[in-house]
A and B are shown apart, each in its own frame.
Chain A
Amino acid sequence: MRAAARRRRAFIYLALSLLYLVILLFPVYWMAMMMVKPADLMFVRPTEWAFSPTLSHFEYVVEHGFLGNLGTSLIVSIGSTLLVVVIGTPAAYAFARFKIWRRDDLFLFILATRMAPPVALAIPFYLIYAKLDILDTHLGLIVVYLTFNLSFYVWVLCSFCRDLPVELEEAALADGYSRAHVLYKIVLPLLRPGIVATSVLCFIFAWNEFLYAFLLGGRSVKTLPVAIPTLITGQGVLWGELAVVGVIAIVPVFIVVFYLQRHIIRGLTLGAVKG
């Protein structure tokens, strides 16, 4: 009796989960289908489910250099994320561990860079970039994302650092490591889940960002979020191509999240569960 009840319960859960999955994945499926659907069948009613797939959308996307945009997006996002990790990790550690003059004020000041709405800073950035002649360069976008992500990264990682047991570092010092060794061999491995989780969020932010990419880049350095709207042309919306580029834009985020899933979950729950 009880076993039967439990089985029935399990079955209901499974059915509900599947239903949820269908609702969740249907738009993705629709987008995938649009990638290979001939343009003339795109909006036929009733919906055409069986059609001979076409690669013409892919051809258009390749011919019009969207792969270059993908490259630009990757360079800018990965570049800024790597810099954030390299600069932000020691900063976060220092804020957590050392008695720096006016540390708390400095710490708050770092966050202040993120308090203004991004659009408020767009014009100053534009003018500065024009003077420095780094408009429409990879460097320009990497730097602007750096300024936004660094504060976030330092704040989040600093709390990870505070949760590390300081005795472990003291033990390593007593055992004969130098400060630099302690940081490299003891602290960094323990911080890895935190670094991964936080930097993935930074990567996604840079990957999705539109406003600055549009204003400070735009011609030769065009990221995917800026390139996608160009498919909405005067002659009409190129739905199939839009679907292809959309999928291209989602895939790297999927890969990153799937590949690092274990770390991200550990990172996001670190501190919440001790032991």
Chain B
Amino acid sequence: MAVVRIENVVKHYGLVEAVRGVSLNCADGEMMALLGPSGCGKTTMLKMLAGIEDVTSGEIYFDDEPIADRDPSARNIAMVFEDYALYPRLSVEQNIAFPLKVRHMPKREIKPRVDKALDMLDLQQFRRDNVQRLSGGAQQRVSIGRALVRDPSLILFDEPLSHLDGDQKVQLRVEIKRLQHEMGLTSILVTHDQTEAIAMCNRVAVLNEGELQQVDTAEVVYDYPANLFVATFVGEPPMNLLPAELRQERDGLVAAGEGWRVAIADRQATRARQATNRADVILGIRPEHLDLVPLAGEGANGDDLRGTVFFREPRGDSQIVLITSEAVPGEGNVVTETDSASSLRDDEAVALRIQPEHVHLFDPATGENLFARGS
């Protein structure tokens, strides 16, 4: 296993800049996710780590050794692919033994290693079967076995669970995490699925348009998104974004929009003031941090956001409610999450209260989070 250091790596395909200067460290035994929408450069990053694609500029180090110029075979990496990429016509056993055979390891050394891999992945019963007859989940286990069998410095997972269905997906997710943890494998997982990234990885690196947006633990990425992209990409349903105006009032800094206002805590207000002088900002608030308050009686007050229920999506223990509101311009909706017992009806008028401690403010020009955690 190795420490992986990526320094200012750039990749051009002709005029297209696929990766624009990404620097990233992956500690020994760490599992890191490269998360982003399609075309963000995450697969290109993976191929450069593997040596299948050259880097245009920059350097990659495994344990302080520069390897960007080396052939894939000289890097000691292993890959697990989305569609398994097993060698057809070979048996399970032969597939797993393949990387060892290529390295001319003596037969008597190959056997115990393959046996160990088969045991670990619960594949002994299939050892002589042709890989093409196995289920998707079993095929992917074989492919993981092929990766583990030779103690690679780094394992690259390229959307390993995308082709599997529900229960196999969850099962293999747990299994990969367990093996990775037990064996202390340095791993990089490429995925567009945030659930996968959060469930499996120690840290998540969010990429967009070839640039690194944020690297941190899943919790930090979720609670303190570095910019608008991360805020909307991570989290399901995504964060609500409301155009707002910052103004100084008697009780401190206040963000206000069409029909609502919320006070900004002093500590955050200081940060926001340091970050920008502009009055127009974007306020971000996650669906679960918007509370439905009753309109009648002592419920709603003048600070609450008003709207009407547009659509409800039951999610078992909770429900997602889409609300049309003047606070959001154009076709947009405000999304909130409430418990499933609530007796909302379509077209019902509602009020929403913003939890002030969970508010984010973004610069509309740069997209930066104005509360950026002091580095």
A177 to B52, CA, bound (A): 12
- Asked whether A176 lies within 8 Å of B79 as measured between CB atoms, the reply is no
Residue of B nearest to A167 (CB): B85
- Chain B residues near A176: list those with CB within 8 A: 72-73, 99, 102-103
- Asked whether B73 lies within 8 Å of A170 as measured between CB atoms, the reply is no
- Asked whether B78 lies within 8 Å of A174 as measured between CB atoms, the reply is yes
- Asked whether B87 lies within 8 Å of A167 as measured between CB atoms, the reply is no
Measured CB to CB, the closest approach of chain A to B237, in angstroms, equals 33
Q: Mark B78-104, 1 if CB is under 8 A from A, else 0.
A: 110111011111000000001100110
- Chain B residues near A170: list those with CB within 8 A: 47, 50, 52, 79, 81, 85
Residue of A nearest to B102 (CB): A176
Measured CB to CB, the closest approach of chain B to A169, in angstroms, equals 9
A174 to B80, CA, bound (A): 10
A181 to B71, CA, bound (A): 13
Measured CB to CB, the closest approach of chain B to A262, in angstroms, equals 15
Question: Does A175 sit within 8 A of B, measured CB to CB?
Answer: yes
A171 to B47, CA, bound (A): 11
Question: Does B146 sit within 8 A of A, measured CB to CB?
Answer: yes
- Determine which of B71, B82, B98, B156 lies in contact with A175 in the assembled complex, contact meaning CB atoms within 8 Å: B98
- Chain B residues near A178: list those with CB within 8 A: 71, 73
- Chain A residues near B158: list those with CB within 8 A: 167
- Asked whether B52 lies within 8 Å of A173 as measured between CB atoms, the reply is yes
Question: Does B284 sit within 8 A of A, measured CB to CB?
Answer: no
Measured CB to CB, the closest approach of chain B to A179, in angstroms, equals 8
A171 to B83, CA, bound (A): 11
Range of interface residues on chain A? 10 to 19
A190 to B85, CA, bound (A): 13
Residue of B nearest to A275 (CB): B132
Range of interface residues on chain B? 20 to 34
- Chain B residues near A25: list those with CB within 8 A: none
- Asked whether A174 lies within 8 Å of B88 as measured between CB atoms, the reply is no
Measured CB to CB, the closest approach of chain A to B86, in angstroms, equals 8
> Majority SS of interface residues in chain A?
helix
- Determine which of A167, A177, A189 lies in contact with B81 in the assembled complex, contact meaning CB atoms within 8 Å: A167
Question: Does A165 sit within 8 A of B, measured CB to CB?
Answer: yes
- Chain B residues near A232: list those with CB within 8 A: none
A172 to B72, CA, bound (A): 9
A167 to B79, CA, bound (A): 10
Question: Does A41 sit within 8 A of B, measured CB to CB?
Answer: no
Residue of A nearest to B72 (CB): A173
A175 to B52, CA, bound (A): 12
List CB contacts (< 8 Å) of A95-112 with chain B. Answer: 99
List CB contacts (< 8 Å) of A154-184 with chain B. Answer: 165, 167-168, 170-178, 181
- Chain B residues near A168: list those with CB within 8 A: 85, 87
Question: Does B51 sit within 8 A of A, measured CB to CB?
Answer: yes
- Asked whether B85 lies within 8 Å of A177 as measured between CB atoms, the reply is no
Indicate whether A190 sits within 8 Å of B88 (C-beta atoms), given known contacts A167-B83, A170-B52, A174-B72. yes
Indicate whether A174 sits within 8 Å of B79 (C-beta atoms), given known contacts A165-B85, A168-B85, A186-B87. yes
Residue of B nearest to A189 (CB): B89
- Chain B residues near A173: list those with CB within 8 A: 50-52, 71-73
- Chain A residues near B86: list those with CB within 8 A: 171
- Chain A residues near B81: list those with CB within 8 A: 167, 170-171
List 21 contacting pairs A-B, 8 Å CB cutoff, sorted by A: A167-B82, A167-B85, A170-B47, A170-B52, A170-B81, A171-B79, A171-B85, A171-B146, A172-B87, A173-B50, A173-B51, A173-B52, A173-B72, A174-B72, A175-B78, A175-B99, A175-B102, A176-B72, A177-B73, A189-B89, A190-B88
